[in-house]
């Protein structure tokens, strides 16, 4: 996925040079990229993931907003090139504060600088990792019989088994999990179970689910970080492990699954590197709420609006999702993973998950 550093620097310099050449020849500089909104999401038939379509937006120096955008882009490019030259990295938060020292290119909010970093990815077909930019926190945790080799600060690879060489919290996923930083050596598992909440992850670890069911457990930590999704993608492709996603039963958790399986709007330009189209949903559904008589909460107005939107979302157009979303709207209820504890602490590992994993193959894939 990631490019070699010289290629990254070359692409960024070419982008900056295109702006310079426009100014030099008396033309108005502009940057063109795919429109990054829901209406421009299309199915990529090659990768079976959702990508940006043909609709484009233009940032032109002809307008004040466009000129400011291009100026800030150039400042960011210069900052990234300096990091590459000095073998440094920066958090997205640090980059935002770095702009405080820019004479004319200061960002108003971190959201603005984060979005611009994503725009640079789209324009250059590079990755944030190529830019040496990282989130404030690393990804979540992994536990199971998975052996990896991670490059340490000395540039040496250290071998780690995610069952034997880690504590109860598992192996912490770093921000960059591409092959030049992390090698997947081997796995002795039948599948990967990606879990939304920390409480449920800890429950499955405590109950020994990974050993009893020859699985690798991955804590998604809510909406999963890029590194977490990238690792799931690699485990699926390189180790040929099926991915199952276990979440709460609400519209926001359904979107967590969709981001794992098909990609998210913000990262649609790199869905082929992050998404696992064969991933299956085994989280809480409206049917589970009824069949298991689970404790519930009433849907909020925002929950209802989100579910209505999902009925039109191309990631939720199959019969499984249509039926479950409509049923949830009708009952006006949602439920958490931990609601399964109504039947005891072992119910999720002794009954619920085994039944889901051995059930019909129509689990939202």
Task: Write the DSSP string, 19-58.
Answer: HHHHHHTTPPPEEEEE--SGGGEEEETTTTEEEE-S-EEE
DSSP 250: S
Predicted pLDDT at 317: 86
Contact 258, 316 (CB under 8 A): yes
Block residue for tokens 């119910």: 347
| Beta-carbon count within 10 A of 281 CB | 25
Global model pTM greater than 0.85: yes
CA distance 37 to 353: 36
pLDDT tens, 163-179? 999 988 899 999 889 98
Q: State the Cα–Cα distance between residues 133 and 152, nearest whole angstrom.
A: 18
Cα angle for residues 281, 356, 198 (degrees, 5° grid): 60
pLDDT band at 159 (very low <50, low <70, confident <90, very high): very high
Strand-pairing partners, residue 159, are 149
- Mean pLDDT score, 282-311: 96
Known catalytic residue at 292: no
pLDDT at position 1 is 45
Bridge partners for 134 per DSSP: 91
pLDDT band at 138 (very low <50, low <70, confident <90, very high): low
CA distance 168 to 129: 29
**What mean pLDDT comes out for the span 261-283?**
91
pLDDT band of 3, cuts 50, 70, 90:
very low
- Tell me what pLDDT residue 88 has: 87
Confidence of residue 2 (pLDDT cuts 50, 70, 90): very low
Going from the N-terminus, what domains does the chain have, and what CATH number goes with each?
5-134 (1.10.10.10), 166-174+185-357 (3.40.1360.10)
Q: Which letter does DSSP use for residue 267 in this model?
A: T
**End-to-end alpha carbon distance in the chain:** 24
Catalytic-role residue among 52, 96, 97, 352: 97
């Amino acid at each position: 996925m990631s490019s070699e550093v010289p290629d990254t620097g070359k692409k960024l310099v070419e982008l900056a040079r295109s702006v310079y050449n426009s100014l030099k020849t008396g033309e108005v500089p502009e940057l063109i990229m795919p429109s990054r909104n829901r209406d421009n999401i299309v199915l990529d038939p090659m990768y079976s993931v959702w990508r940006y379509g043909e609709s484009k937006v233009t940032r032109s120096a002809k307008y004040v907003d466009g000129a400011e955008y291009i100026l800030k882009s150039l400042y960011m490019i210069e900052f990234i090139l300096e990091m590459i030259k000095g073998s440094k990295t920066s958090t997205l938060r640090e980059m935002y504060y770095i702009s405080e020292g820019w004479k004319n290119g200061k960002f108003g909010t971190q959201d603005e600088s984060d979005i611009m970093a994503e725009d640079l990815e789209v324009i250059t077909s590079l990755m944030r990792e190529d830019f040496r930019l990282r989130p404030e926190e690393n990804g979540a945790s992994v536990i199971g019989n998975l052996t990896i080799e991670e490059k340490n600060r000395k540039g040496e690879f250290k071998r780690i088994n995610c069952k034997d060489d880690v504590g109860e919290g598992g192996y912490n996923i770093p921000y960059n999990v591409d092959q030049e930083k992390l090698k997947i050596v081997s796995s002795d598992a039948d599948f990967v179970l990606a879990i939304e909440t920390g409480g449920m992850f800890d429950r499955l670890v405590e109950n020994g689910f990974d050993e009893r069911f020859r699985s690798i457990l991955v804590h998604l930590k809510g909406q999963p970080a890029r590194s977490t999704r990238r690792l799931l993608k690699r485990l699926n492709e390189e180790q040929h492990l099926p991915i199952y996603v276990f979440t709460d039963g609400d519209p926001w958790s359904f979107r967590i699954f969709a981001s794992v399986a098909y990609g998210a709007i913000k990262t649609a330009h790199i869905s082929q590197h992050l998404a696992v189209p064969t991933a299956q949903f085994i989280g809480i559904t409206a049917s589970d709420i009824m069949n298991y008589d689970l404790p519930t909460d009433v849907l909020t107005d925002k929950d209802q609006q989100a579910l209505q939107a999902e009925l039109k979302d191309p990631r939720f157009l199959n019969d499984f999702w249509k039926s479950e979303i409509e049923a949830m709207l009708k009952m006006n209820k949602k439920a958490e993973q931990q609601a399964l504890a109504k039947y005891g602490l072992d119910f999720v590992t002794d009954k619920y998950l085994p039944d889901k994993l051995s059930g019909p193959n129509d689990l939202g894939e």
